[in-house]
Structure 1
Amino acid sequence: MKARETSPIRRAFAAWPPELQDRWRESERAQNFSRQTRERYLRAAELLLSMTLSPPSADDWQEFSAWLAARYASSTVRTYMVDASYAVRILWPDEEWAWLVDQLRARKRKAAPKPAQKPVPVDWPAEWNAAWQLAHLKPDRDARRQRLRTIYRGGGGGTTSVTAGSQRKEDRRLEPRKWSSDFRARIVRGANAYLKFLRDEKRPLEVTRANVDAYIGSLESRGLSDHTIAMYTDEIALLMRVVIAPQEDWAWLQGFAKALKVAAKARRNKAERIVSVPDLISLAEETMAEARGGIGGARDAIRFRDGLLIGYLAFMGNRLRNISDMYLGKTVETQDETVRVTFATTKNGSRWSAAWPAKFERAFWEYVNIYRPLLGPRDDALWTARDGFGMTRAAISQRVGDITLARLGRRVSPHLFRDCIATQAQRISPEAVRPAAKVLGHSERVLDEHYGHAETVAASKALAKVVDTMIPMQLSRRSR
């Protein structure tokens, strides 16, 4: 029999039936949480138990949700619902709560902000629109087959095509059809901003030195950084050089954009933020050791997770989008005692696969079997957050940055780990560059151009040992 009230009043813990009080006090699951977390769950339970003293059904849960929604903001409602879900699993651990987990997961997806719409060309000149559409048309299959037949038969035109194709592969930026949706959106956004400026200033809708100078002046007056201004200029240069008017000479604009990039890079001085890979690995080991020395609650589980995450980044340097997409049984596969991480696609469109860093294999199994369950995982995400769901990109970046800043005195973002690995390889020897480039998913040329923060390339036995263990030997990377 359920005890109901039309307007729930918090049922204090002392007013609970004795058996429910005993379950709460004696629950091993409840003891794994910190005192503050247990108090939160208790407050939610006191509200829920004012409506029912037996395991709540789906209708009870719906009524509880409606009552909360009538009194609190949506974010507070979500917090109460999650806290109450933990509470019912403590009070009635033998009940089947899969329906509740699914309901909360659906609620979270519904509440998640919708992805921003990709920008589209706004009031572009007719010739710009036509060139943009033409540049992104899929190639004619019949023409492609005919060209391949010509090549196969030894036609002269085929040889030229193959050579040109090989040259184009060196710079995917020159092939609009191969641009990712995110990169295409950047170009459109940059062009929209440039054309809007010209209209506001009543200037002709064309790319000239005078217009570009005025545009850059307006960007500077808005207080934008050198890096942002360089990016805006580079987008216009690439659009004109590759899509709108490739037959014209844009060397002046391209050179100007490159000069801005160089100046912006000098101002940012990323080299000052580089941390050695051994220091990052030591931080990971120390963080996990602190978790092992704790009481084995959720707080220690989070600390161990953070240490393992930093250790993995120090070895592999995957991009944030891939780190947040690590799921057990999907991108993280285990077989017997081996662990392998595979991403079907990376930023450059290639498949990436590597064995889990040997140094942290034992820590991986510790996390999966001991610490991760303490966080009450509700999905297969490897990096489980306090609410049981996978950590978002923003949460991963914030957490890693906060820990490195507090412990090392420098905020090391997940992407900066890539620079740290590349710099470590360059400092050791030229031979270390190749495996580091494979791990990062780059060519050796790109590694040297974009991650060259080492002052010297001096060999060091101590650092060589670190990189020998740092770089997985069995690494495969093949195109889709």
Structure 2
Amino acid sequence: MTFNPPRAEWPSSDKVMWQTLWSDAGPLDDPGPLAHLRQTTHNSLEPRYARWIKWLRAHDVASLNLHPADRATVSRLQKWLATLEHTRPMTRLSYIDGVLRILVAAAPEMDWSLQRRLLDGLRRAAGRGDQSRKSGRVLSSAVLLQLGLNHAGPYSEAAATPLERKKRLRDGAMIALLAVLPMRRRSFCELALDRSVHVDGARILICLSEDMTKTAVSWETAVPHQVEPTLRRYIEDARPFLMSRGDQHHDILWVGKKGEIIGQNYIGSRIGKLTKRLTGKRVSPHLFRDAAATTMVRTSPQASRLIQPVLAHSSPRTAERHYIHAQTIDAGRDYASLIGKLKKDTR
């Protein structure tokens, strides 16, 4: 297995193109077409484009003499896709989408209609934009909350070993917290004590800085009272136990059985498997966000006003970006109250 070539080893035309796309504005120069994107997007696009260069070197080295945009013919992209057949549809979509995003920005005057048709086909194959793929998988947030609390409570206490009890408490806390505060997976995985999770005697406060959110808008709220005791038990009891097993010393909130930092893929897989086993429906972390929106819309038109601030959706208008930030604390509290009411109504 060979690694993707680092940018220093790219063809000179690609290095120049990349530098131009991401360059900041100067006294006499406009910013590059992609300079407005966040560093996380930059970090995501670079390995995808490097994978494209790696394939060209192995299968079509003569094309490296062309301008980067001229290489991306439909025929050449299809040949690349053929070598990616072992990957998932979403992975193939990610690669092609990333490469075209770069090249369209570099050469917007070119006709990209055929490449966009190819991209549309990949989106359909991956289920993007197809709401039927979520059919039956979007549960009520009240159901997910109760699932998490039960897993962290009675089910945890019934475990045969201390390790299993702590793991169940952790898993239940994750599910319950996502049910009432359905943040994006990256933000959820990056939560860290005393940086984005602040614990005192009265409450637990979640504070996401601008670099932790997709919209680059800071977001903060108190953990709702339904979940606060469970999360506090995890922080004060289960997490120290797990950390001690591996002699770990870091501040990331969610940890594995030996205190190691667990990443997005592990958390996504873990939550999906648990919800599948306990409800018969696999609910990914992202579907918790759909559950929140669906729960609010189904409840009442008044409740649906909470969707934008609870989910931290952005708006093209700067004024609304500030509105989202200002409303998150109240919205989080109102949304938690809504779920609590739903739980009572279903008893």
The reply to whether TM is greater than 0.5 is yes
**2:263, 2:93 → 1: CA distance?**
29
Q: 2:196 aligns with which of 327, 331, 346?
A: 331
**2:264, 2:301 → 1: CA distance?**
33
- Contact 1:422-1:433 within 8 A present in 2 as well: yes
SS at match of 1:342: strand
SS at match of 1:231: helix
After superposition, the Cα gap between the structure-2 partners of 1:374 and 1:234, relative to the gap in structure 1 and judged at 3 Å, is closer
**Partner in structure 1 of residue 329 of structure 2:** none
Q: 1:364 aligns with which of 231, 240, 244?
A: 231
**2:131, 2:11 → 1: CA distance?**
34
After superposition, the Cα gap between the structure-2 partners of 1:184 and 1:176, relative to the gap in structure 1 and judged at 3 Å, is farther
**1:376, 1:222 → 2: CA distance?**
39
SS at match of 1:353: strand
**1:265, 1:187 → 2: CA distance?**
20
Deviation, structure 1 residue 184: 3.2
**1:301, 1:210 → 2: CA distance?**
51
Q: Is 2:126 aligned against 1:264?
A: yes
Deviation, structure 1 residue 132: 2.3
Structure 1 gap ranges (5+): 1-115, 145-160, 166-172, 446-464, 472-480
**2:38, 2:237 → 1: CA distance?**
43
Q: 2:105 aligns with which of 224, 239, 242?
A: 242
**1:118, 1:239 → 2: CA distance?**
17
Q: TM-score, normalised by structure 1?
A: 0.54
Deviates more, 1:419-428 or 1:303-312: 419-428
**Partner in structure 1 of residue 309 of structure 2:** 438
After superposition, where does 1:444-459 map in structure 2 within 5 Å? Answer: none
- Contact 1:342-1:353 within 8 A present in 2 as well: yes
**2:160, 2:119 → 1: CA distance?**
56
**Partner in structure 2 of residue 457 of structure 1:** none
Q: 2:46 aligns with which of 163, 185, 189?
A: 185
SS at match of 2:206: strand
After superposition, the Cα gap between the structure-2 partners of 1:208 and 1:286, relative to the gap in structure 1 and judged at 3 Å, is same
Q: 2:293 aligns with which of 405, 422, 425?
A: 422
**1:356, 1:178 → 2: CA distance?**
30
Deviation, structure 1 residue 191: 4.0
After superposition, the Cα gap between the structure-2 partners of 1:357 and 1:396, relative to the gap in structure 1 and judged at 3 Å, is same
After superposition, the Cα gap between the structure-2 partners of 1:275 and 1:201, relative to the gap in structure 1 and judged at 3 Å, is farther
Deviates more, 1:365-374 or 1:308-317: 365-374
**Partner in structure 2 of residue 297 of structure 1:** 162
Per-residue deviation, residues 182-232 of structure 1 (Å, max 9, x unmatched)? 233145235415644762587983656993134315514652544344333
**2:63, 2:98 → 1: CA distance?**
22
Deviates more, 1:407-416 or 1:215-224: 215-224
Q: 1:253 aligns with which of 107, 115, 126?
A: 115
- Contact 2:140-2:291 within 8 A present in 1 as well: yes
After superposition, the Cα gap between the structure-2 partners of 1:246 and 1:330, relative to the gap in structure 1 and judged at 3 Å, is same
After superposition, where does 1:93-112 map in structure 2 within 5 Å? Answer: none
Deviation, structure 1 residue 354: 1.8
Q: Give the aligned residue type for 1:254.
A: R
- Fraction of identical pairs, as percent: 23
Q: Is 2:10 aligned against 1:139?
A: no
**1:337, 1:118 → 2: CA distance?**
51
Q: Is 2:270 aligned against 1:399?
A: yes
Structure possessing the higher radius of gyration over alpha carbons: 1
SS at match of 1:397: helix
- Contact 2:171-2:271 within 8 A present in 1 as well: yes
CA RMSD of aligned residues (A): 3.9
Instruction: Count residues in correspondence.
Output: 308
Q: 1:230 aligns with which of 73, 90, 93?
A: 93
SS at match of 1:178: coil
After superposition, the Cα gap between the structure-2 partners of 1:129 and 1:186, relative to the gap in structure 1 and judged at 3 Å, is same
SS at match of 2:226: helix
- Contact 2:166-2:242 within 8 A present in 1 as well: yes
- Contact 1:199-1:205 within 8 A present in 2 as well: no
Structure 2 gap ranges (5+): 317-333, 341-347
**Partner in structure 1 of residue 176 of structure 2:** 311
SS at match of 1:333: strand
Q: TM-score, normalised by structure 2?
A: 0.71
**Partner in structure 1 of residue 16 of structure 2:** 130
**Partner in structure 1 of residue 326 of structure 2:** none
